[in-house]
Amino acid sequence: MRGIRRGRYDNLRRIQGSDPGTDYLLIHQLTLREEFPWDMRMAFNLAFNRSFALPRVAEGLVRTGRVLTEPRRRADDTGIIMYEILLHGFEHPRGRLALRLLNEAHHNVAADPADSVYVLAALVVVPMRWLQRYGWRTPDEHEREAAARYYREVGLRMGIRDIPSGYGAFEAWFDAYEAAHLRHSPEAERIERVTRELLRGRVPKPLRGVADALIAALYDPPLRRAYAVPDPPAWARTGLHVALRARALLLRLARPRTTPLFADGIVTKSYPDGYDLAKLRQRSS
């Protein structure tokens, strides 16, 4: 057992020895690329999915159209832009270009300023709550604070104001804003029906026949109400929870990851042969 676990907590010790106030990029990179690659990507999908349920955000996305007509390519473009910033940082030429693309997409949707803060908050809070429930270990306080610091910096560089400072502030703001604004809209329901297909693709093939029930189990009651998604059967909720907890236990006992996520570049279904980041400018809304 000791041989299997050797080195399993080396990254955690490195994270705990770093300052989330200044080393937030390094910490968040370790969290995503080495500690929880599958979990963080799944949680990012759920965070963006959740932000689509806000009525004003949904209206803006339906107005621009791509989320309905090209959901896969739009999701891949968004993922590429977000991961390019995280991989390279804010001062690297690719990071700066990706941030410009993100700004252009943000202005095309033209959400309410508070809705923009909510999207940032979802990217901070949803992944950390997922890791708390289903990660092979619970997220460290430095990881929570680094995520908050990183997305606060993203928001500031996008010109977004009144962004919470610190994970606790993000979490409190997120919960309060959801309680006041997360509700059903026809536009959000349309988006969910289209983007659900992307989540279906993450369900293991033997379970594709019950994918809708499992996806509904991934949503909490407020999100199901906002999307008009029926409550899942008890077997789906219980089965999903047990499977994810079992996976976490197996990973805890496994050898640590030796190759970081995206070590060979970002590969997506829309761009199997690679992509030109500059050309995403024309398609980023």
Q: Is residue 279 part of a domain?
A: no
Q: Is residue 3 part of a domain?
A: no
CA distances, 259 to each of 14, 87, 130, 256 (Å):
17, 14, 23, 9
CA distance 283 to 274: 15
Q: Which residue has 């965070």 as its token pair?
A: 47
Task: Quote the percentage of the chain above a pLDDT of 70.
Answer: 95
Number of domains present in the structure of the chain? 1
Q: Is residue 1 part of a domain?
A: no
Q: Is residue 280 part of a domain?
A: no
- 171-230 residue pLDDT tens: 999 999 999 999 999 999 999 999 898 888 878 888 889 999 999 999 999 999 999 999
CA distances, 168 to each of 12, 16, 29, 149, 155 (Å):
21, 18, 21, 11, 17
DSSP line for 165-226: -SHHHHHHHHHHHHHHH----HHHHHHHHHHHHHHHTTS-GGGGGGHHHHHHHHS-HHHHHH
**Domain range for residue 226?**
8-274
Q: What is the pTM of this model?
A: 0.94
CA distance 248 to 245: 5
In the predicted model, what is the mean pLDDT of the chain?
A: 93
Q: Which stretches within 70-140 are classed as H helix?
A: 71-88, 93-109, 113-134
Average pLDDT over residues 129-142: 99
pLDDT beyond 90 at 111? no
Question: Nearest Cα to 126, choosing from 78, 183, 171, 188?
Answer: 171
Q: Is residue 259 part of a domain?
A: yes
Q: How confident is the model at residue 3 (pLDDT cuts 50, 70, 90)?
A: very low
| Phi, psi angles (nearest 5°) of residue 110 | 55, 55
- 23-77 residue pLDDT tens: 999 999 999 999 999 999 999 999 999 999 999 999 999 998 889 999 999 999 9
Q: Is residue 2 part of a domain?
A: no
pLDDT beyond 80 at 2? no
Q: Is residue 284 part of a domain?
A: no
User: Residue 282 in contact with residue 100, Cβ under 8 Å?
Assistant: no
Question: Nearest Cα to 285, choosing from 153, 89, 110, 119?
Answer: 110
